[in-house]
Structure formats: structure tokens, C-alpha cells
Amino acid sequence: MSDKIYIAGLGIISAIGNNVQECLYALKTGQAGMAKAVFLKTVHASEIPVAEVKLSNDELAEKTGLSNKLSRTALLSMAAAKEALNDAAIENIHAFRCGFISATTAAGIDKTENFFTDVLKGYGKGNLHDVVYHECGSITQLVADKLSISGYTTTINTACSSSANSIMLGARLIKAGMLDVAVAGGTDALAKFTVNGFNTLMILDKEFCKPFDENRNGLNLGEGAGYVVLVSEAVANSLNKKMYCELKGYSNTNDAYHQTASSPDGMGSYLAMQQALAAAHLNTNNIDYINLHGTGTYNNDMAEGAAIQRLFKAPYPKMSSTKSFTGHTLGASGGIEAVFSSLAIKHGFIYPNLRLQTPIPEFPFVVETGFSTQPVQHVLSNSFGFGGNCSSLIFSKL
């Protein structure tokens, strides 16, 4: 049992870098990851920008030691989870009950798409290897097996809030005494399924996205994976390294308004932030930085902003959407943004929200436009999704 949950290791791969150092450099220098799709084969490549990881499947396979025939979602997951575990520098992982709590929305659908092209010509057609990793859990299990993680291993799919929920579950399993260490986060690769899906909803910006701008016009899809290594107090004390921060609060709520749209007053987001603060025993004025869900759709930013306006009061905390760098990485976004939040605390960084021209006039606050440094005690990270799923995490300085 452990009352406190510490973050001992971080791992990430995204359109702005293949590891923590590269991503941090891009955040500092303001380099966004969106571009015309190179690896994703879609007829929409020239009109819809995406935030692709800048490695081919062959290069990812070489980096991770996995087969290049596997789903890109698994390759991304392995890259980031491995980095997180190495970073935590736990000498003998088998000395602890270590679990793998992952999340994905698309899983191996990049391969299923290939299979469909063939199988629609006849049930005997199509390479069966392409559907072995169709189920969400099969990606997680593959990576857990390769990392020799044998403790509690599961997969959450609550759409775009998925990996915030896996971090929350990892913490709860440690607090309940079921695990000592949890590698928690999520992964998603770009796929025709999601690009076309979001495109039919008409919420993809044809330019680079502009979260929290009055003239925002939708989101850019991204891909990647992000994991944190959560450890109990006892494990933290046994490690010969400084912890990044503490995971102090978390909350999972539901907007219960509409399958794909957020309520105008952002009720679900409001409750998630409020209850995460209560769980952390913090007040709104303790929060130094909010890593926004900030997708750049009209609806999300309005709802999230309304919820912040209702819960917080001036002076407002600094806030930005790092999706202006990474795109919206769906089931990976909560994990990726947990990595950014932990780094914000460790180094005292406030990240910019790129491309802001006209702040939304209805809100009494403006998102950050430049990179800056200051002491950062507490960070609130928001992740919301289809189905009304809303989750907020709070990271705190030791």
C-alpha cells in the first residue's frame, strides 16, 4: 500500500521527436510536427495535414527490436514504453509487481485496413497476420510480453481520454496494494479509419490547427505513444534517482450530453477538474499551468474554456494546448501530455500554444504564446473524449 504515487520514468514518441529529449527541444524551439502524410497512405494526404512520427515502420522496428510486419500502434507503444522503463532505471523489475496499463483507440486497425482490401474480394483472401492485432488488448499484451512485464496488464479504451484513465488506474492499483510499479499511458498510430472518421465529422482543420483561437477550424490528427512509470513510495525510496514529480490527484467523469459533442457549459470537464483538485486537496489558485485538452475544434475549446472560466478565477493559471505541436494523438494524448506535464514540473517549463492570433473573446484568459520558465508546483492536465468521457490529472512538485 502506498498513499503517494511518484513518477519515476518518462517515455514518448510523437511527431515532434522520437524520445523525451527531442520532444523537449521541439517544445522549446516552437517546432510543430504537422506535415503532409508520408507513411500513411490515404487519398486525403494532400488536403489534410497530419502529425506523423518521422520514422517508417522499418525504422521503428529497428529501434524497438520488433518485427516490421507489426501494427505501427505496437511499434510506437514499444518505443515509448521501453524509454520510460529505461528512464526509471529500476535495476531488477522482477523484484517488484510491475504492471502495464495501456490504452489505444485504433489498435491494429492500420493492418486490418490492408486485410479488408483483400478479404472483401473473398473470405479466403487477406493475410491473417494482419488481423492478429486488431483487438486493442492484443497490442498491449504483445508489448507487455516483449518487456517481460507479467503483473496486472490491461487496456482502456475511452476514446480520446483513454491514456489519462490508464494513468489513473495504474495509480489506483498501486494504492490498493495490487502493484508496486505501473507503466501507464497509451498509443495510437494514424490510420485511414480515424482520418476518414474525423473527416466525415468535418472537424479536421485543412491548415495547422489553432487551439483556443477565435478562428480555430478543427483538429489535426497525430500519432505517437506516451508512458509514465508510476511507483509506490517504497519503490521510490529504493531507487537511486530523483523522482520527476508526484501524481497528486485524478478524476474521471462523464459529460452525459451527446455521443460526440461536448455540452456548451463543459459540465463533464468542469467536474473532472473540480474533483481532481479535491482529490489532490488543492485549490484552483495552486495550479500554475493547465495542459489543455485543446483539440482546436470549435466545440471542444468552447466547452473546456467555459469550464475553466467557471471553476477558476483571475489571476488564471498559465495554459496551453501542446496539441498545437503533436496534433491530437487520440488514445496516446493523455500519456503524451502526462510526460509534458512531468517535464514542466521538473524543469519549470511553460509550453507555448502555437499559432494563436486572436484569443477567443468570450474568455477572460489567454493561452500562452511563448516558451517560458518559472517555478511550477502543480500542473493540471485535461483529456476529454467521445462518449462524454472526461479525465483530469494533477502532477505536483516533490
Partner 1 sequence: MKKIFIRSASYISAQETFNNGLFTGSPIEYTETILPFAEPSYKDFMNARQLRRMSKVVRTGVTTALRCLKDAGIETVDAIVSGTSYGCMEDSEAFLKSIVLQNEQALSPTSFIQSTHNLVSAQIALTLKCHNYNTTYAHRGFSFEHALTDAVLLLNEQSAENALAGSADEMTGFTWNVLRRFGLFKQQAVSNLSLFNSNTRGSIAGQGSGFFLLSGNHNENDYAQIDGIELIYKAGGGDVKNEVARFLSAQKINAGDIDLIITGRNGDMLQDKMFDDMHNTVFANVASINYKHLCGEYPTSSSFALWLAANIIKQKQLPPCFEETGIDAEKINRILIYNCYQYRYHSFILISKCN
Catalogue the active-site residues. Answer: 160, 293, 328
Q: Does 197 bind partner 1 (CB under 8 A)?
A: yes
Q: Does 257 bind partner 1 (CB under 8 A)?
A: yes
Q: Does 1 bind partner 1 (CB under 8 A)?
A: no
Q: Does 170 bind partner 1 (CB under 8 A)?
A: no
DSSP at 185: E
Determine the 3-state secondary structure of 297 from DSSP.
coil
Q: Which is nearer to partner 1, 109 or 367 (CB)?
A: 109
Residue 165 near residue 182, CB atoms below 8 Å: no
| Residues near 172 by beta carbon (within 8 Å), at least 6 away in sequence | none
DSSP at 322: T
Please identify which residue in 4, 172, 355, 397 interacts with partner 1, judged by CB under 8 A: 172
Q: Does 89 bind partner 1 (CB under 8 A)?
A: no
Q: Does 150 bind partner 1 (CB under 8 A)?
A: yes
Sign of the torsion angle spanned by Cα atoms 306, 310, 312, 316:
positive
| Residues near 194 by beta carbon (within 8 Å), at least 6 away in sequence | 105, 106, 109, 188, 221, 330
263-302 binders of partner 1 (CB under 8 A): 267-268, 271
DSSP at 346: H
Q: How far apart are CA 382 and CA 392, in angstroms?
A: 5
Please identify which residue in 1, 38, 89, 201 interacts with partner 1, judged by CB under 8 A: 201
Set of cell numbers at residue 279: 482529490
Q: How far is the CB of 55 from partner 1 (least distance, A)?
A: 24
Q: Does 314 bind partner 1 (CB under 8 A)?
A: no
Amino acid residing at 77: S
117-146 binders of partner 1 (CB under 8 A): 117, 119-120, 123-124, 126, 128, 131, 135-138, 140-141
| Residues near 32 by beta carbon (within 8 Å), at least 6 away in sequence | 15, 16, 26, 51, 208, 324, 325, 354, 355
Q: Which is nearer to partner 1, 23 or 136 (CB)?
A: 136
Contact residues: partner 1, CB under 8 A: 42-44, 105, 107, 109, 112-113, 115-117, 119-120, 123-124, 126, 128, 131, 135-138, 140-141, 150, 152-159, 165, 169, 172-173, 175-176, 192-193, 196-197, 199-201, 252-260, 267-268, 271, 385-389
